[in-house]
Structure 1
Amino acid sequence: MHRIGVIGDRDSVMPFKLFGFEVVYAIAGEQVRETIEAMAQRGFGVIFITEAASELATETIERYKAEMMPAIILIPSHQGTKGIGLKEIQENVERAVGQNIL
């Protein structure tokens, strides 16, 4: 079974510890990039990352989009959503189905 990681600011990702996920507080670009790389190398299956943190590591995230693992899922922070995660889902559905059904 693959592990699940969560990256972002403390207030947004702390609750994920309750589910047994590995949580890393990262708010600087280099921290976020290094954490994604480390989790990928350690065989994580899914990495949840806050939308704000994802903006600091766009190239790294783009590189893993073509890979089967890890799946990088954008989630809103405790301050609310920026719409980035929903946009990603809509684009993936459109690519898979041929049109936006959401």
Structure 2
Amino acid sequence: MTGKMAIVGDGDSIMVFQAAGVTAFAAENEKKARDILRKIAKDYEVIFLTEELARPLADFLKRFDEAPYPVVLPIPSGKGSGGLGEELVRGAAERALGIDIFFGGSRETSEETHQ
């Protein structure tokens, strides 16, 4: 498995990735997306998942946090962004670095600023 990438999402959202050579899997709902993720997880290093499907699957997706692969990345769908991808990157960076890379400063300073 060398750099294999896939996308799981609605038909419109996956077409651009498919045109760029990314293996695409259409999922019209979270049950279908969960089934696809279970089947393809061992075969791909990076799996993009549209935010509309990622948000209701948040608990299911935690299982992928423990292993180095696959990395499951929520991305905006063709309908726009709900902010989930940014939220997850922010949280991961804060856990790893102890700072909020989007607002600067330490975690404590950032929390005080946003209250």
Per the normalisation by structure 1, the TM-score is 0.92
Per the alignment, residue 98 of structure 1 pairs with 98
Identity across the alignment (%): 28
Letter in 2 for 1:71: V
Task: Report the 3-state secondary structure (helix = DSSP H, G, I; strand = E; otherwise coil) of the residue aligned with 2:41.
Answer: helix
DSSP 3-state at the match of 1:82 = coil
Secondary structure of the residue that 1:79 maps to in structure 2? coil
User: Which runs of 5 or more structure 2 residues have no equivalent in the other structure?
Assistant: 103-115
How many angstroms apart in 2 are the aligned matches of 1:60 and 1:91? 18
CA distance in 2 between partners of 1:57 and 1:35 (Å): 12
Cα offset, 1:59, TM superposition? 2.3
From the CA coordinates, give the structure whose radius of gyration is larger.
2
Q: Distance in 2 between matches of 1:86 and 1:32?
A: 21
User: RMSD of the alignment, in Å?
Assistant: 1.1
In 2, Cα distance between the equivalents of 1:58 and 1:20?
27
Whole-angstrom distance in 1 between the partners of 2:84 and 2:21: 26
Q: Which has the higher contact order (CA 8 A, sep 6+)?
A: 1
- 8 Å CA contact 1:9, 1:26 repeated in 2: yes
Aligned length: 101
User: TM-score normalised to the size of structure 2?
Assistant: 0.82
